[in-house]
Protein backbone atom coordinates (compact mmCIF):
# COMPACT_ATOMS: atom_id res chain seq x y z
CA UNK A 1 0.00 0.00 0.00
CA UNK A 2 1.47 3.42 -0.95
CA UNK A 3 2.62 5.38 2.11
CA UNK A 4 0.59 8.43 1.08
CA UNK A 5 -2.59 6.42 1.73
CA UNK A 6 -1.56 5.98 5.38
CA UNK A 7 -1.60 8.52 8.16
CA UNK A 8 -0.58 8.66 11.80
CA UNK A 9 -3.71 8.21 13.81
CA UNK A 10 -5.47 6.39 16.62
CA UNK A 11 -6.69 2.82 16.58
CA UNK A 12 -10.46 2.43 16.28
CA UNK A 13 -12.43 1.19 19.30
CA UNK A 14 -14.33 -1.33 17.23
CA UNK A 15 -14.30 -4.39 19.52
CA UNK A 16 -17.57 -5.06 21.34
CA UNK A 17 -18.11 -6.95 24.59
CA UNK A 18 -18.86 -10.22 22.75
CA UNK A 19 -15.62 -9.86 20.73
CA UNK A 20 -13.49 -9.33 23.87
CA UNK A 21 -15.11 -12.26 25.70
CA UNK A 22 -14.54 -14.65 22.81
CA UNK A 23 -11.00 -13.35 22.12
CA UNK A 24 -10.15 -14.07 25.76
CA UNK A 25 -11.71 -17.49 25.38
CA UNK A 26 -9.97 -18.17 22.08
CA UNK A 27 -6.56 -17.39 23.56
CA UNK A 28 -7.00 -20.24 26.02
CA UNK A 29 -7.84 -22.92 23.47
CA UNK A 30 -5.32 -23.77 20.79
CA UNK A 31 -2.45 -25.98 19.73
CA UNK A 32 -1.12 -26.35 23.28
CA UNK A 33 -4.25 -28.24 24.27
CA UNK A 34 -5.17 -29.96 21.02
CA UNK A 35 -1.70 -31.01 19.82
CA UNK A 36 0.81 -30.24 22.60
CA UNK A 37 -1.10 -32.54 24.96
CA UNK A 38 0.10 -35.51 22.85
CA UNK A 39 3.70 -35.10 23.99
CA UNK A 40 2.61 -34.37 27.57
CA UNK A 41 0.52 -37.55 27.66
CA UNK A 42 3.46 -39.71 26.59
CA UNK A 43 5.50 -38.57 29.59
CA UNK A 44 2.96 -37.76 32.29
CA UNK A 45 0.01 -40.04 31.51
CA UNK A 46 -3.18 -39.16 33.45
CA UNK A 47 -1.22 -36.88 35.82
CA UNK A 48 -1.22 -34.34 32.99
CA UNK A 49 -4.63 -33.27 34.35
CA UNK A 50 -2.91 -32.08 37.54
CA UNK A 51 -0.20 -30.35 35.48
CA UNK A 52 -2.72 -28.33 33.47
CA UNK A 53 -4.50 -27.39 36.72
CA UNK A 54 -1.26 -26.07 38.25
CA UNK A 55 -0.27 -24.19 35.08
CA UNK A 56 -3.77 -22.74 34.78
CA UNK A 57 -3.74 -21.52 38.39
CA UNK A 58 -0.47 -19.63 37.88
CA UNK A 59 -1.73 -18.22 34.57
CA UNK A 60 -4.88 -16.96 36.30
CA UNK A 61 -2.86 -15.18 39.01
CA UNK A 62 -0.77 -13.44 36.34
CA UNK A 63 -3.90 -12.50 34.41
CA UNK A 64 -5.33 -10.82 37.52
CA UNK A 65 -2.10 -8.86 37.95
CA UNK A 66 -2.26 -7.74 34.35
CA UNK A 67 -5.98 -7.02 34.64
CA UNK A 68 -5.49 -4.67 37.57
CA UNK A 69 -3.13 -2.53 35.52
CA UNK A 70 -5.23 -2.63 32.34
CA UNK A 71 -8.43 -1.50 34.06
CA UNK A 72 -6.65 1.53 35.49
CA UNK A 73 -4.91 2.37 32.19
CA UNK A 74 -6.44 0.73 29.05
CA UNK A 75 -3.78 1.46 26.43
CA UNK A 76 -2.26 -0.18 23.33
CA UNK A 77 0.70 -2.49 23.92
CA UNK A 78 -0.27 -2.89 27.56
CA UNK A 79 2.62 -5.02 28.89
CA UNK A 80 5.21 -2.75 27.38
CA UNK A 81 3.40 0.40 28.55
CA UNK A 82 3.31 -0.70 32.20
CA UNK A 83 6.92 -1.88 32.21
CA UNK A 84 7.96 1.43 30.62
CA UNK A 85 5.87 3.65 32.90
CA UNK A 86 6.48 1.95 36.25
CA UNK A 87 9.81 0.19 35.85
CA UNK A 88 11.86 2.12 33.34
CA UNK A 89 12.57 2.72 29.63
CA UNK A 90 14.64 -0.44 29.08
CA UNK A 91 12.01 -2.62 30.79
CA UNK A 92 9.38 -1.21 28.43
CA UNK A 93 11.65 -1.76 25.44
CA UNK A 94 12.42 -5.37 26.45
CA UNK A 95 8.83 -6.23 27.39
CA UNK A 96 7.39 -4.93 24.13
CA UNK A 97 9.89 -6.47 21.76
CA UNK A 98 9.96 -9.77 23.67
CA UNK A 99 6.18 -10.04 23.42
CA UNK A 100 6.29 -9.25 19.74
CA UNK A 101 8.84 -12.04 19.17
CA UNK A 102 6.75 -14.34 21.39
CA UNK A 103 3.70 -13.95 19.19
CA UNK A 104 5.70 -14.26 15.98
CA UNK A 105 6.83 -17.63 17.35
CA UNK A 106 3.28 -18.52 18.43
CA UNK A 107 2.12 -17.72 14.90
CA UNK A 108 4.78 -20.03 13.49
CA UNK A 109 3.76 -22.84 15.86
CA UNK A 110 0.06 -22.50 15.03
CA UNK A 111 0.71 -22.50 11.27
CA UNK A 112 2.84 -25.62 11.75
CA UNK A 113 -0.03 -27.26 13.63
CA UNK A 114 -2.44 -26.35 10.81
CA UNK A 115 -0.22 -28.29 8.41
CA UNK A 116 -0.34 -31.37 10.66
CA UNK A 117 -4.14 -31.22 10.93
CA UNK A 118 -4.52 -30.99 7.15
CA UNK A 119 -2.28 -34.07 6.83
CA UNK A 120 -4.94 -36.06 8.74
CA UNK A 121 -7.02 -35.85 5.56
CA UNK A 122 -4.30 -35.38 2.94
CA UNK A 123 -0.98 -36.82 4.24
CA UNK A 124 0.75 -36.05 0.95
CA UNK A 125 0.49 -32.24 1.42
CA UNK A 126 3.70 -30.88 3.06
CA UNK A 127 3.17 -28.77 6.20
CA UNK A 128 4.98 -25.81 4.63
CA UNK A 129 2.46 -25.60 1.77
CA UNK A 130 -0.52 -25.43 4.15
CA UNK A 131 1.31 -22.94 6.38
CA UNK A 132 1.92 -20.65 3.41
CA UNK A 133 -1.71 -20.78 2.22
CA UNK A 134 -3.25 -19.95 5.60
CA UNK A 135 -0.57 -17.33 6.26
CA UNK A 136 -1.95 -15.37 3.29
CA UNK A 137 -5.61 -15.86 4.30
CA UNK A 138 -5.31 -14.76 7.94
CA UNK A 139 -3.18 -11.70 7.16
CA UNK A 140 -5.76 -10.66 4.56
CA UNK A 141 -8.48 -10.81 7.24
CA UNK A 142 -6.45 -8.58 9.56
CA UNK A 143 -5.82 -6.01 6.82
CA UNK A 144 -9.53 -5.20 6.52
CA UNK A 145 -10.51 -3.60 9.84
CA UNK A 146 -10.62 -4.43 13.53
CA UNK A 147 -14.33 -5.27 13.40
CA UNK A 148 -13.69 -7.95 10.76
CA UNK A 149 -10.89 -9.37 12.92
CA UNK A 150 -13.26 -9.37 15.91
CA UNK A 151 -16.00 -11.12 13.94
CA UNK A 152 -13.58 -13.73 12.56
CA UNK A 153 -12.24 -14.44 16.03
CA UNK A 154 -15.77 -14.51 17.48
CA UNK A 155 -16.86 -17.26 15.08
CA UNK A 156 -13.55 -19.16 15.32
CA UNK A 157 -14.00 -19.25 19.10
CA UNK A 158 -17.70 -20.18 18.90
CA UNK A 159 -16.70 -23.25 16.86
CA UNK A 160 -14.01 -24.19 19.38
CA UNK A 161 -16.21 -23.78 22.43
CA UNK A 162 -19.19 -25.59 20.93
CA UNK A 163 -16.97 -28.46 19.80
CA UNK A 164 -15.25 -28.94 23.17
CA UNK A 165 -18.55 -28.82 25.04
CA UNK A 166 -19.96 -31.27 22.47
CA UNK A 167 -16.92 -33.52 22.85
CA UNK A 168 -17.27 -33.54 26.65
CA UNK A 169 -21.00 -34.36 26.41
CA UNK A 170 -20.42 -37.08 23.78
CA UNK A 171 -17.55 -38.48 25.85
CA UNK A 172 -19.71 -38.59 28.98
CA UNK A 173 -22.47 -40.36 27.02
CA UNK A 174 -19.99 -42.95 25.70
CA UNK A 175 -18.58 -43.43 29.20
CA UNK A 176 -21.77 -43.81 31.17
CA UNK A 177 -24.07 -45.44 28.59
CA UNK A 178 -21.68 -48.23 27.70
CA UNK A 179 -21.71 -47.12 24.04
CA UNK A 180 -17.95 -46.49 24.18
CA UNK A 181 -17.19 -50.17 24.73
CA UNK A 182 -15.51 -52.01 27.60
CA UNK A 183 -12.34 -49.92 27.37
CA UNK A 184 -14.26 -46.67 28.10
CA UNK A 185 -14.10 -46.36 31.88
CA UNK A 186 -13.03 -43.77 34.43
CA UNK A 187 -10.61 -46.35 35.86
CA UNK A 188 -8.37 -45.62 32.84
CA UNK A 189 -7.18 -42.64 34.90
CA UNK A 190 -5.32 -44.94 37.31
CA UNK A 191 -5.38 -48.55 36.03
CA UNK A 192 -2.60 -48.37 33.42
CA UNK A 193 0.49 -47.75 35.53
CA UNK A 194 -1.25 -45.46 38.02
CA UNK A 195 -2.07 -41.75 37.95
CA UNK A 196 1.69 -41.04 37.80
CA UNK A 197 2.83 -43.87 35.45
CA UNK A 198 6.32 -42.37 35.07
CA UNK A 199 6.50 -40.94 38.58
CA UNK A 200 6.16 -37.30 39.55
CA UNK A 201 9.21 -36.55 37.40
CA UNK A 202 7.23 -37.59 34.31
CA UNK A 203 4.84 -34.72 35.00
CA UNK A 204 7.51 -32.24 36.09
CA UNK A 205 9.44 -32.73 32.86
CA UNK A 206 6.34 -31.77 30.85
CA UNK A 207 5.45 -28.57 32.73
CA UNK A 208 7.22 -26.44 30.10
CA UNK A 209 5.06 -27.86 27.29
CA UNK A 210 1.97 -27.41 29.49
CA UNK A 211 3.00 -23.75 29.91
CA UNK A 212 2.84 -23.33 26.14
CA UNK A 213 -0.91 -23.99 26.35
CA UNK A 214 -1.53 -20.89 28.46
CA UNK A 215 0.54 -18.51 26.38
CA UNK A 216 -2.42 -16.78 24.72
CA UNK A 217 -4.31 -15.71 27.81
CA UNK A 218 -2.61 -12.29 28.02
CA UNK A 219 -4.02 -11.34 24.62
CA UNK A 220 -7.00 -9.70 26.30
CA UNK A 221 -4.58 -7.04 27.53
CA UNK A 222 -3.72 -6.03 23.98
CA UNK A 223 -7.41 -5.58 23.10
CA UNK A 224 -7.88 -2.88 25.78
CA UNK A 225 -7.11 0.03 23.44
CA UNK A 226 -9.82 -1.08 21.03
CA UNK A 227 -12.47 -2.17 23.53
CA UNK A 228 -15.67 -0.12 23.80
CA UNK A 229 -15.89 -0.28 27.61
CA UNK A 230 -12.58 -1.64 28.92
CA UNK A 231 -13.30 -0.98 32.60
CA UNK A 232 -16.36 -3.24 32.43
CA UNK A 233 -15.37 -5.77 29.79
CA UNK A 234 -11.78 -6.59 30.83
CA UNK A 235 -12.51 -7.67 34.45
CA UNK A 236 -15.34 -9.92 33.24
CA UNK A 237 -13.12 -11.56 30.63
CA UNK A 238 -10.27 -12.15 33.09
CA UNK A 239 -12.47 -13.55 35.88
CA UNK A 240 -13.89 -16.11 33.50
CA UNK A 241 -10.42 -17.53 32.79
CA UNK A 242 -10.62 -19.88 35.79
CA UNK A 243 -13.89 -21.43 34.55
CA UNK A 244 -12.46 -21.85 31.08
CA UNK A 245 -9.43 -23.67 32.42
CA UNK A 246 -11.62 -25.98 34.52
CA UNK A 247 -13.99 -26.80 31.66
CA UNK A 248 -11.79 -26.75 28.58
CA UNK A 249 -8.59 -28.22 30.02
CA UNK A 250 -9.44 -30.23 33.11
CA UNK A 251 -12.89 -31.35 31.93
CA UNK A 252 -11.89 -32.19 28.37
CA UNK A 253 -8.70 -34.05 29.36
CA UNK A 254 -10.47 -36.05 32.08
CA UNK A 255 -13.08 -37.26 29.60
CA UNK A 256 -10.44 -37.91 26.90
CA UNK A 257 -8.25 -40.01 29.18
CA UNK A 258 -11.26 -41.98 30.46
CA UNK A 259 -12.47 -43.05 27.00
CA UNK A 260 -9.46 -45.21 26.14
CA UNK A 261 -6.27 -46.50 27.83
CA UNK A 262 -3.79 -43.64 27.60
CA UNK A 263 -0.79 -45.88 26.79
CA UNK A 264 -2.58 -47.38 23.79
CA UNK A 265 -3.49 -43.88 22.59
CA UNK A 266 0.14 -42.75 22.92
CA UNK A 267 1.33 -45.76 20.89
CA UNK A 268 -1.04 -44.74 18.08
CA UNK A 269 -0.01 -41.07 18.22
CA UNK A 270 3.72 -41.81 18.02
CA UNK A 271 3.52 -44.61 15.44
CA UNK A 272 4.88 -42.32 12.71
CA UNK A 273 7.91 -41.25 14.75
CA UNK A 274 6.55 -37.78 15.52
CA UNK A 275 5.32 -37.17 19.10
CA UNK A 276 3.21 -34.28 17.81
CA UNK A 277 2.06 -35.91 14.57
CA UNK A 278 -1.68 -35.72 15.29
CA UNK A 279 -4.16 -34.58 17.94
CA UNK A 280 -5.12 -37.02 20.72
CA UNK A 281 -8.60 -35.46 20.64
CA UNK A 282 -9.02 -36.63 17.06
CA UNK A 283 -7.30 -40.00 17.45
CA UNK A 284 -9.35 -41.05 20.46
CA UNK A 285 -12.57 -40.99 18.44
CA UNK A 286 -10.91 -42.89 15.61
CA UNK A 287 -9.83 -45.57 18.08
CA UNK A 288 -13.32 -46.04 19.52
CA UNK A 289 -14.81 -46.26 16.02
CA UNK A 290 -16.48 -42.84 15.78
CA UNK A 291 -14.96 -41.62 12.50
CA UNK A 292 -17.53 -38.86 12.00
CA UNK A 293 -16.65 -37.34 15.38
CA UNK A 294 -12.94 -37.68 14.54
CA UNK A 295 -13.32 -35.77 11.25
CA UNK A 296 -15.45 -33.07 12.91
CA UNK A 297 -12.89 -32.66 15.69
CA UNK A 298 -10.04 -32.43 13.21
CA UNK A 299 -11.89 -29.56 11.54
CA UNK A 300 -12.33 -27.94 14.95
CA UNK A 301 -8.67 -28.22 15.96
CA UNK A 302 -7.76 -26.78 12.57
CA UNK A 303 -9.98 -23.74 13.18
CA UNK A 304 -8.54 -23.50 16.72
CA UNK A 305 -5.01 -23.13 15.36
CA UNK A 306 -6.18 -20.57 12.80
CA UNK A 307 -7.97 -18.70 15.58
CA UNK A 308 -4.81 -18.38 17.67
CA UNK A 309 -2.79 -17.30 14.63
CA UNK A 310 -5.50 -14.78 13.77
CA UNK A 311 -5.19 -13.38 17.31
CA UNK A 312 -1.41 -13.41 16.99
CA UNK A 313 -1.43 -11.29 13.82
CA UNK A 314 -3.71 -8.79 15.57
CA UNK A 315 -1.66 -8.81 18.77
CA UNK A 316 1.70 -8.30 17.06
CA UNK A 317 0.57 -5.34 15.00
CA UNK A 318 -0.90 -3.61 18.09
CA UNK A 319 2.25 -4.28 20.12
CA UNK A 320 4.38 -2.66 17.40
CA UNK A 321 1.92 0.27 17.37
CA UNK A 322 2.29 0.60 21.15
CA UNK A 323 6.10 0.43 20.90
CA UNK A 324 6.05 3.18 18.27
CA UNK A 325 3.89 5.34 20.57
CA UNK A 326 6.56 5.01 23.27
CA UNK A 327 9.36 5.80 20.83
CA UNK A 328 10.69 2.22 21.10
CA UNK A 329 9.95 1.45 17.44
CA UNK A 330 10.02 3.55 14.25
CA UNK A 331 7.31 6.22 14.13
CA UNK A 332 6.21 4.91 10.70
CA UNK A 333 4.54 2.04 12.58
CA UNK A 334 2.00 4.55 13.94
CA UNK A 335 0.60 4.95 10.45
CA UNK A 336 -2.87 3.53 9.91
CA UNK A 337 -5.12 3.41 6.86
CA UNK A 338 -8.51 5.15 6.69
CA UNK A 339 -10.13 2.20 8.55
CA UNK A 340 -7.69 2.55 11.47
CA UNK A 341 -5.68 -0.57 10.58
CA UNK A 342 -1.90 -0.41 11.32
CA UNK A 343 -0.92 -1.83 7.92
CA UNK A 344 2.85 -1.46 8.22
CA UNK A 345 2.88 -3.11 11.64
CA UNK A 346 0.92 -6.09 10.24
CA UNK A 347 3.23 -6.33 7.22
CA UNK A 348 6.46 -6.36 9.27
CA UNK A 349 5.11 -9.01 11.66
CA UNK A 350 4.01 -11.11 8.68
CA UNK A 351 7.43 -10.88 7.09
CA UNK A 352 9.09 -12.46 10.14
CA UNK A 353 6.36 -15.08 10.58
CA UNK A 354 7.12 -16.31 7.06
CA UNK A 355 10.24 -17.95 8.52
CA UNK A 356 7.80 -20.62 9.69
CA UNK A 357 7.37 -21.84 6.12
CA UNK A 358 11.15 -22.27 5.80
CA UNK A 359 11.42 -24.16 9.11
CA UNK A 360 8.63 -26.54 8.06
CA UNK A 361 10.35 -27.10 4.75
CA UNK A 362 13.73 -27.90 6.36
CA UNK A 363 12.70 -29.87 9.50
CA UNK A 364 9.00 -30.82 9.20
CA UNK A 365 9.01 -33.44 11.99
CA UNK A 366 10.78 -31.43 14.67
CA UNK A 367 9.46 -27.96 13.74
CA UNK A 368 6.61 -27.89 16.27
CA UNK A 369 8.64 -28.97 19.31
CA UNK A 370 11.40 -26.47 18.41
CA UNK A 371 8.88 -23.63 18.06
CA UNK A 372 7.00 -24.56 21.25
CA UNK A 373 10.21 -24.47 23.28
CA UNK A 374 11.15 -21.06 21.88
CA UNK A 375 7.64 -19.79 22.69
CA UNK A 376 7.98 -20.95 26.31
CA UNK A 377 11.39 -19.25 26.65
CA UNK A 378 9.87 -15.94 25.50
CA UNK A 379 6.73 -16.56 27.58
CA UNK A 380 8.59 -16.95 30.89
CA UNK A 381 10.26 -13.58 30.28
CA UNK A 382 6.86 -12.04 29.58
CA UNK A 383 5.17 -13.53 32.64
CA UNK A 384 8.06 -12.53 34.90
CA UNK A 385 7.92 -8.96 33.60
CA UNK A 386 4.14 -8.74 34.14
CA UNK A 387 4.53 -9.82 37.78
CA UNK A 388 7.48 -7.49 38.40
CA UNK A 389 5.80 -4.55 36.65
CA UNK A 390 2.67 -5.15 38.73
CA UNK A 391 4.68 -4.91 41.97
CA UNK A 392 6.03 -1.53 40.87
CA UNK A 393 2.59 -0.42 39.59
CA UNK A 394 0.89 -1.23 42.92
CA UNK A 395 3.58 0.64 44.87
CA UNK A 396 3.13 3.66 42.59
CA UNK A 397 -0.65 3.54 43.13
CA UNK A 398 -0.19 3.30 46.90
CA UNK A 399 2.15 6.32 46.83
CA UNK A 400 -0.56 8.30 44.99
CA UNK A 401 -3.27 7.10 47.38
CA UNK A 402 -5.10 5.37 44.51
CA UNK A 403 -7.06 2.19 45.26
CA UNK A 404 -7.25 -0.01 42.11
CA UNK A 405 -10.83 -0.95 41.26
CA UNK A 406 -9.90 -4.46 40.05
CA UNK A 407 -7.30 -5.86 42.43
CA UNK A 408 -5.03 -8.82 41.84
CA UNK A 409 -5.10 -11.64 44.38
CA UNK A 410 -2.71 -11.95 47.33
CA UNK A 411 -0.34 -9.09 46.52
CA UNK A 412 2.66 -9.37 46.78
CA UNK A 413 2.78 -13.09 47.73
CA UNK A 414 1.18 -14.20 44.45
CA UNK A 415 3.71 -12.15 42.45
CA UNK A 416 6.65 -13.93 44.09
CA UNK A 417 4.90 -17.30 43.71
CA UNK A 418 4.55 -16.67 39.96
CA UNK A 419 8.19 -15.60 39.68
CA UNK A 420 9.29 -18.76 41.51
CA UNK A 421 7.18 -20.85 39.13
CA UNK A 422 8.83 -19.19 36.13
CA UNK A 423 12.30 -20.06 37.50
CA UNK A 424 11.10 -23.61 38.11
CA UNK A 425 10.00 -23.91 34.46
CA UNK A 426 13.41 -22.69 33.25
CA UNK A 427 15.09 -25.25 35.49
CA UNK A 428 12.93 -28.05 34.09
CA UNK A 429 13.70 -27.00 30.52
CA UNK A 430 17.43 -27.37 31.18
CA UNK A 431 16.94 -31.12 31.73
CA UNK A 432 15.13 -31.73 28.42
CA UNK A 433 17.59 -32.23 25.54
CA UNK A 434 15.14 -31.18 22.81
CA UNK A 435 14.32 -27.80 24.34
CA UNK A 436 17.40 -27.04 26.47
CA UNK A 437 18.77 -24.83 23.69
CA UNK A 438 15.93 -22.33 24.09
CA UNK A 439 16.97 -21.67 27.72
CA UNK A 440 20.58 -21.09 26.68
CA UNK A 441 19.29 -18.64 24.06
CA UNK A 442 17.64 -16.40 26.70
CA UNK A 443 20.83 -14.58 27.88
CA UNK A 444 21.87 -13.96 24.29
CA UNK A 445 18.40 -12.66 23.47
CA UNK A 446 18.49 -10.29 26.48
CA UNK A 447 21.96 -9.06 25.47
CA UNK A 448 20.77 -8.48 21.91
CA UNK A 449 17.81 -6.42 23.13
CA UNK A 450 20.12 -4.47 25.46
CA UNK A 451 22.41 -3.71 22.52
CA UNK A 452 19.48 -2.52 20.40
CA UNK A 453 18.31 -0.34 23.27
CA UNK A 454 21.76 1.25 23.63
CA UNK A 455 21.86 2.02 19.89
CA UNK A 456 18.43 3.66 20.20
CA UNK A 457 19.58 5.73 23.20
CA UNK A 458 22.67 6.99 21.32
CA UNK A 459 20.53 8.01 18.36
CA UNK A 460 18.16 9.91 20.64
CA UNK A 461 21.12 11.64 22.32
CA UNK A 462 22.43 12.81 18.92
Q: Using the predicted structure, report yes or no on whether residue 225 has a pLDDT greater than 60.
A: no
- Total count of domains within the chain: 1
Mean pLDDT of the chain: 80
Residue 163 in any domain: the answer is yes
Task: Please report which confidence band the pLDDT of residue 227 belongs to, taking 50, 70 and 90 as the band edges.
Answer: low
Identify whether 4 is part of a domain.
Answer: no
Helices first, then strands: H and E counts in the chain: 22, 2
With respect to residue 2, please indicate whether it lies within any of the assigned structural domains: no
Percent share of the chain, pLDDT over 90: 13
Does residue 271 have a pLDDT over 80?
Answer: no
Query: Between these two residues, 373 and 452, which has the higher pLDDT value?
Result: 452
pLDDT at site 444: 92
Cα(first)–Cα(last) distance of the chain, in Å?
Answer: 32
Residue 58 maps to a domain: yes
Task: Give the pLDDT of residue 4.
Answer: 43
Alpha helices in 143-260 (DSSP H): 146-177, 199-204, 207-213, 219-222, 230-239, 241-244, 252-259
Where does residue 459 rank: exposed (0-12), middle (13-18), buried (19+ CB within 10 A)? exposed
Q: How far apart are CA 93 and CA 74, in angstroms?
A: 19
Question: What element of type H or E holds 342?
Answer: none
Give the confidence band of 5 by pLDDT, cuts at 50, 70, 90.
Answer: very low
Mean of the pLDDT values across residues 268-296?
Answer: 73
Task: Identify whether 356 is part of a domain.
Answer: yes
pLDDT in tens, 366-423: 777 777 778 888 888 988 999 999 999 999 999 988 888 888 899 899 999 999 999 9
CATH number at residue 378: 1.20.1740.10
Confidence class for position 1, pLDDT limits 50, 70, 90: very low
pLDDT at 67 over 70: yes
For residue 339, is pLDDT > 80?
no
How sure is the predictor about 2, in pLDDT bands with cuts at 50, 70 and 90? very low
Q: What is the DSSP letter of 251?
A: I
Mean pLDDT on 284-302: 78
199 found inside a domain: yes
The answer to the question of residue 1 being in a domain is no
Residue 3 lies in a domain: no
Query: Is the pLDDT score of 14 beyond 60?
Result: no
Question: pTM, whole model, 2 decimals?
Answer: 0.82
Domain containing 194: what range?
A: 9-461
- Tens of pLDDT, residue by residue over 103-141, are 888 888 888 888 888 888 888 888 888 888 988 888 887
For residue 243, pLDDT over 70 is answered with yes
- pLDDT of amino acid 443: 92
Amino acid sequence: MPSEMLQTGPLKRGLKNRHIQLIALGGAIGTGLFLGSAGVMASAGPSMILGYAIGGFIAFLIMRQLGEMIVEEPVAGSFSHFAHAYWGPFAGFLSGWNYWVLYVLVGMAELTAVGKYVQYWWPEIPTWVTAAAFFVLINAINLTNVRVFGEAEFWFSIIKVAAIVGMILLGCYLLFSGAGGEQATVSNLWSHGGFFPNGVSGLVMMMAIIMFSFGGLELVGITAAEADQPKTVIPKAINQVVYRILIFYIGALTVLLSLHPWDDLVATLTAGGDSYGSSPFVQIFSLIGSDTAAHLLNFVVLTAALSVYNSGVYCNSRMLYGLAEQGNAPKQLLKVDKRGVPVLAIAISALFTLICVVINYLVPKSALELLMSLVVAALVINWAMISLAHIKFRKAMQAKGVEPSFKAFWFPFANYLCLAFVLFILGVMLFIPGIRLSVFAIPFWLLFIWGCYQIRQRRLAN
